[in-house]
């Protein structure tokens, strides 16, 4: 601190010091700045004082504060200037042949979910005389980070990201948001950060599915899900399930939930893990014979539930019903009753929104598409529980 600044309040002096570091590019766009605790130790002040300095920086647009993660340098001069990713507010810089390149980072895809999503994006790219470049992360954060950096080095004009599951979003995604690079998230959204996203109305869809089971007379419904660790799609499905119970005045019995199905996660999809999860469901059904239906948050978990039930001699849907999200058609029929997500439309809108962002147009922060109920062979009236 200089003598000239000694007459200022300490929070103002800290503000000035951090602002100067940012302006001098000692902290680049997207870099984390010291926390309240670190500033308190550096300047020997209370956390209240350092918090006030950070709030002032945020108010002036120099940083973005994200609860639970810290404060990060904002692209406070991005109007027409080059961002840390080589783009600009208009993002007009394109390759010599004039064709746009839009990158897609997705965990993985298959018949039940993902393939139609990509079809929608690819068709939109064709209609807009653009190209889609795809990389899979397999749900591994380091692969996701590598994919984002690689696509940026390739010179993509925008990115569509299906984030890896986990407690926090990749820091590279946060940097893209801060630098206002054309970015659209699919399937889930980023809490507390203004990033464009498009997903299914998972809460509404879960309510529809749960109410359908109620109409069939089911009240003891087991809820099967991967660990819902800050994965907004799963969190919303849980909330829809709970709300449906509340609206019907039916008690939610969390003792018959299974929230640790892991074999369907992209980085844990092995036959050994699959067998462990099937055995886990079998033990759960044997321990809780009052269960008449299972609500699986995704198709692959629905398959596990189906195999577990049949292994112990339960008929589906005679003894137990199963409902899930998404299900591929088999031989002209659907083995599982499910909520079908409008994947193709989701992919099309995601691609077109990236192009709009690139042109400086505004798009909704959160878009949610309705899912439709598709009746399959796995649901029927609830059996009498004795």
What the chain holds in terms of domains, given with CATH numbers, is: 3-73 (1.10.10.10), 100-199+343-369 (3.40.50.2300), 202-341 (3.40.50.2300)
Over pLDDT 70: what percentage of the chain?
89
What are the tens digits of pLDDT across the range 106-164?
988 887 789 999 999 999 999 999 999 999 998 888 899 999 999 999 999 999 999 87
Average the pLDDT over each of 52-66, 157-171, 346-360 and give the range with the smallest value.
157-171
How high does pLDDT run on average in the chain? 87
Across the range 356-371, mean pLDDT stands at 92
Phi/psi at 372 (nearest 5 deg)? -115, 145
Cα separations (Å) of 41 from 50, 86, 106?
10, 36, 41
What are the tens digits of pLDDT across the range 282-326?
999 999 999 999 999 999 999 999 999 999 999 999 999 999 999
Across the range 330-339, mean pLDDT stands at 93
Residue 3 is predicted with a pLDDT of 45
In angstroms, the CA 183 to CA 353 distance is: 8
In angstroms, the CA 149 to CA 162 distance is: 15
Residue 276 is predicted with a pLDDT of 96
Torsion of CA 14, 18, 21, 23, to 10 degrees: -120
Beta strands in the chain (DSSP E): 32-33, 63-66, 70-73, 100-106, 130-136, 158-161, 183-186, 196-200, 221-224, 293-296, 321-325, 337-340, 366-369, 372-374
Q: DSSP assignment of 243-256, as one string?
A: HHHHHHTPPP-GGG
In angstroms, the CA 179 to CA 66 distance is: 15
Q: Is the pLDDT of residue 88 over 70?
A: no
In angstroms, the CA 300 to CA 99 distance is: 38
In angstroms, the CA 48 to CA 344 distance is: 49
211 band by pLDDT with thresholds 50, 70 and 90: very high
- Residue 318 and residue 104 in contact, taking contact as beta carbons nearer than 8 Å: no
Residue 24 is predicted with a pLDDT of 85
Tokens for 50, please give them: 């350092």
- The model's pTM is 0.76
Q: Is the pLDDT of residue 358 over 50?
A: yes
In angstroms, the CA 301 to CA 102 distance is: 32
The strand pairing partners of 223, in sequence order, are 295
Task: Give the 3-state secondary structure of 59-73.
Answer: HCCCEEEECCCEEEE
18 band by pLDDT with thresholds 50, 70 and 90: very high
Q: Is the pLDDT of residue 66 over 80?
A: no
In angstroms, the CA 98 to CA 157 distance is: 11
């Amino acid at each position: 601190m200089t003598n000239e600044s000694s007459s200022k309040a300490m929070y103002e002096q800290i503000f000035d010091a951090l602002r100067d570091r940012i302006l001098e590019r000692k902290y680049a766009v997207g870099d984390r700045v010291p926390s309240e605790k670190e500033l308190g130790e550096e300047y020997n002040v209370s956390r209240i004082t350092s918090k006030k300095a950070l709030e002032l920086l945020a108010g002036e647009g120099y940083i973005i504060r994200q609860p639970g993660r810290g404060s990060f340098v904002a692209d406070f001069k991005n109007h027409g200037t080059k961002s840390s990713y080589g783009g600009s507010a208009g993002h007009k810089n394109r390759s010599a042949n004039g064709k746009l390149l839009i990158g897609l980072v997705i965990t993985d895809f298959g018949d039940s979910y993902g393939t139609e999503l990509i079809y929608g994006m690819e068709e939109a790219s064709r209609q807009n005389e653009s190209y889609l470049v795809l990389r899979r992360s397999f749900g591994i954060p380091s692969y996701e980070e590598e994919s984002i950096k690689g696509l940026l080095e390739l010179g993509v004009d925008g990115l569509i990201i299906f984030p890896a599951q986990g407690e926090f979003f990749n820091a590279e995604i946060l940097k893209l948001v801060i630098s206002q690079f054309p970015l659209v998230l699919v399937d889930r959204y980023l809490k507390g950060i203004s990033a464009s996203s498009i997903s299914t109305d998972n809460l509404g869809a879960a309510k529809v599915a749960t109410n359908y089971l109620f109409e069939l007379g089911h009240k003891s419904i087991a809820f099967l899900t991967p660990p819902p660790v800050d994965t907004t799609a799963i969190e919303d499905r849980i909330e829809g399930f709970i709300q449906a119970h509340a609206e019907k005045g039916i008690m939610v019995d969390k003792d018959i939930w299974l929230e640790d199905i892991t074999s369907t996660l992209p980085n844990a999809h092995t036959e050994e893990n699959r067998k462990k999860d099937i055995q886990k469901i079998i033990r759960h059904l044997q321990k809780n014979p009052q269960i008449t239906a299972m609500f699986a948050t995704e198709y692959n978990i629905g398959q596990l539930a189906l195999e577990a039930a049949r292994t112990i001699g339960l008929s589906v849907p005679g003894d137990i019903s199963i409902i899930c999200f998404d299900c591929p058609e088999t031989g002209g029929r659907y083995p599982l009753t499910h909520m079908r997500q409008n994947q193709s439309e989701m992919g099309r809108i995601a691609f077109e929104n990236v192009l709009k962002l690139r042109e400086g147009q505004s798009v909704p922060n959160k878009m949610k598409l309705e899912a439709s109920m598709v009746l399959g062979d796995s649901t029927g009236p609830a059996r009498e529980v004795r």
